[in-house]
Chain A
Amino acid sequence: MTKDELKEHITQFQPKAVFEETGEWLNVQVETGDWKPVAHWLRNGVLQMDYLFCLTCIHWPTAGKTPAAGNTADEGSGGIFMMVYHFTSTVFRHVLVVKVKLTSDHPEIETVSDIWRTAEFHEREVFDLFGVRFLHHPDLRRLVLTDDFEGHPLRKDFEDPVNMIKL
């Protein structure tokens, strides 16, 4: 499907979705509360996004000042976490990037590991390195770091005076 067709289908299902088309693929931003039904629909609906090929997170500690995060001053000073999901369909071969904005104070989002099983490991990695909590995840523990590790290294405000060399 082309970008316009994708847009049309998504708007029909989720009228609140915000689109951004500057990149290679169609980007769509959805609300945290809407995420789970949207995820179900993406997998089982007309788009058939059965392959989640990348799941990651971006930390914007000074959101509000960064227009790239796609938000305005009403976010407060806490910054945001942007969850980024890259989907493709092995049937139609179209690609869609879904973004969900989380607040820095309570980064929480519903898990999608029951829909795409690859998400189970990827979400554990994001939990480990960013501290985003995935609700209803079957086994949310640290993945690569030790259990007693303090902090989340991929956050921009992470400090480790011993091991990090500032260039």
Chain B
Amino acid sequence: MYRETQILNSNTIAPTTARDLAMDEAGAGLVINVGPQHPATHGVLHLVITLEGETIKKIEPHLGYIHRSIEKMCESLSYRQFIYVTSRMDYLSAHINNHGCVLCVEKGLQLEIPPRAQVIRVLMDELTRIASHELWWGAMAMDLGAFTPFFYAFRERETINDIMEETCGTRLTMNYMVPGGVMYDIHPNFQRRVKDFIQLFNSKIDEYDDLVTGNIIFQNRTKGIGVLSREDAISFGCTGPVGRASGVACDIRKLYPYEVYDKVNFDEIIETAGDSYARYLVRIKELRQSVRIIEQLIDNIPEGDFQAKTKAVLKLPKGEFYSRVETARGELGVYIVSEGGTTPYRIKFRSPGFSNLSALDHMSRGCKIGDLMAIMGTLDLVIPDIDR
């Protein structure tokens, strides 16, 4: 900037401006860094963006700032222990990560889960999904300049955290799932508090719609921004709300139902526009579906055990096991290769954020730098989930 001003003042024809110099260095454009510490990346993600004017030409994500090599750690942890490390991957749907892991271990052990535990698990999953989408909604609106929604979202999310704290003992990394069921029975207050919350929350979603969904400024900033076609979504392996906003039916709860998802009524939300607004709509509508699932189950928790009888030391038979669950961000795959011992030989987490991020470059090209906030916001990236 300073250099350009100088040149103007000297009233001569500048051989090169600062911008031209920068473009030469990069080959074809101005290169700027967003992150690793940046309020809009919501975590330590580093994007190297090549711009031409205001238009994004290329985005190169640099990962690994929070890489802990969870897969390597899991190789030396027992089948009971490794589940709790996964709470630290996608910490917003910690419960669902745990769910994926216990499903995989149970598949290996061929364990039957008591019906009570199944229903409790699904209830917890859906509460987690609501909490996760709430945080996303608040943070995304804040990225786009609306500060109030953040407080609205956290007000309701707090209630879920309180419910979780009462039953699981913790608010964020619940660690409530164990192979065979859940760790403790639900708190006596659980059903009443969830019902209170659901009743309150139904009216709150309408409020969210009034506040943000119908807002013309918000719509202008998201409609037609960051379009991802159906073919590309499949090719990039985008799942969850990102995939469904592009018209891909990828809800694991519908395609490969686990626990009691095949016994409850809910709709798979699919939009076809593939832009940021469609991704926003999918998540907002999913909130209502989660509420629907909870409403059906909360009064019908079967009596009985909350945990199946298991051995103290678990040993999976030799072989390979794969389980898939639908987290708030998409499809989480847990792939365990067992050699018959007490620890996994190799474990791989196919995290939804990793694949969703890989589409960022493709969908941002040609957009303005200001649109990046809308695209990043609706991708709903959780960085520890990507780096693992």
Tell me which of A56, A129, A167 contacts B335 (CB under 8 A). Answer: A56
Tell me which of B77, B236, B248, B348 contacts A117 (CB under 8 A). Answer: B236
In contact, B235 and A117 (Cβ under 8 angstroms)? yes
> CA A165 – CA B75 in complex, angstroms?
12
Q: Which segment of B113-121, B290-298, B350-358 sits at the interface?
A: B350-358
- Residues in A neighbouring B234, C-beta threshold 8 A: 50-51, 90
Q: Which of A11-70 contact B (CB under 8 A)?
A: 22-25, 50-54, 56, 58-59, 66, 68
Q: Which segment of A2-10, A71-79, A101-109, A142-150 sits at the interface?
A: A142-150
With A54-B350, A117-B358 known as contacts, the answer to whether A144 contacts B63 (CB < 8 A) is yes
> CA A154 – CA B232 in complex, angstroms?
30
In contact, B76 and A166 (Cβ under 8 angstroms)? yes
Chain B interface residue count, CB cutoff 8 Å, equals: 40
- How many Å from the CB of B124 to the closest CB on chain A? 25
- Residues in B neighbouring A24, C-beta threshold 8 A: 107, 321-322
Is A110 located at the chain interface by the 8 A CB criterion? Answer: no
Q: Chain A's interface: helix, strand, loop or mixed, by majority?
A: loop
- How many Å from the CB of A67 to the closest CB on chain B? 9
In contact, B235 and A50 (Cβ under 8 angstroms)? yes
In contact, B76 and A118 (Cβ under 8 angstroms)? no
With A50-B235, A53-B350, A118-B237 known as contacts, the answer to whether A167 contacts B76 (CB < 8 A) is yes
> CA A51 – CA B235 in complex, angstroms?
6
In contact, B67 and A145 (Cβ under 8 angstroms)? yes
Q: Which residue of A lies closest to B238 (CB)?
A: A118
Interface string of B334-351 (1 = CB under 8 A from A): 010101000001101010
- How many Å from the CB of A68 to the closest CB on chain B? 6
Q: Which of A73-126 contact B (CB under 8 A)?
A: 84, 86, 90, 93, 116-118, 120-122, 125
In contact, B76 and A154 (Cβ under 8 angstroms)? no
> CA A2 – CA B259 in complex, angstroms?
24
Tell me which of B76, B337, B355 contacts A121 (CB under 8 A). Answer: B355
> CA A144 – CA B255 in complex, angstroms?
32
> CA A52 – CA B354 in complex, angstroms?
13
Is B318 located at the chain interface by the 8 A CB criterion? Answer: yes
- Residues in B neighbouring A167, C-beta threshold 8 A: 76-77
- How many Å from the CB of B305 to the closest CB on chain A? 27
Is B333 located at the chain interface by the 8 A CB criterion? Answer: yes
Q: Which residue of A lies closest to B323 (CB)?
A: A24
In contact, A52 and B237 (Cβ under 8 angstroms)? yes
- How many Å from the CB of A142 to the closest CB on chain B? 8
- Residues in B neighbouring A93, C-beta threshold 8 A: 255
In contact, A53 and B337 (Cβ under 8 angstroms)? no
- How many Å from the CB of A21 to the closest CB on chain B? 12
- Residues in A neighbouring B235, C-beta threshold 8 A: 50, 116-118
In contact, A53 and B237 (Cβ under 8 angstroms)? yes
In contact, B387 and A51 (Cβ under 8 angstroms)? no
Q: Which residue of B lies closest to A128 (CB)?
A: B64
In contact, A118 and B333 (Cβ under 8 angstroms)? no
- Residues in B neighbouring A121, C-beta threshold 8 A: 354-355, 357-358
Q: Which residue of B lies closest to A23 (CB)?
A: B320
- Residues in A neighbouring B239, C-beta threshold 8 A: 53
In contact, A144 and B64 (Cβ under 8 angstroms)? yes
In contact, A118 and B236 (Cβ under 8 angstroms)? yes
In contact, B348 and A68 (Cβ under 8 angstroms)? no
Of A22, A56, A93, the most chain B CB neighbours within 10 A belong to A56
Q: Which residue of A lies closest to B239 (CB)?
A: A53
- Residues in B neighbouring A56, C-beta threshold 8 A: 335, 346, 348, 350
Q: A residues within 8 Å of B by Cβ?
A: 22-25, 50-54, 56, 58-59, 66, 68, 84, 86, 90, 93, 116-118, 120-122, 125, 129, 143-146, 153-154, 165-167
Give me the 7 closest cross-chain CB pairs, A-B, nearest first: A118-B237, A144-B64, A121-B358, A144-B67, A56-B348, A54-B350, A117-B235
User: 21 A–B contact pairs at CB < 8 A?
Assistant: A23-B320, A24-B107, A52-B237, A53-B331, A53-B350, A56-B346, A56-B350, A59-B346, A84-B335, A86-B335, A86-B350, A90-B234, A90-B249, A93-B255, A117-B232, A117-B359, A120-B358, A121-B355, A144-B64, A153-B69, A165-B76
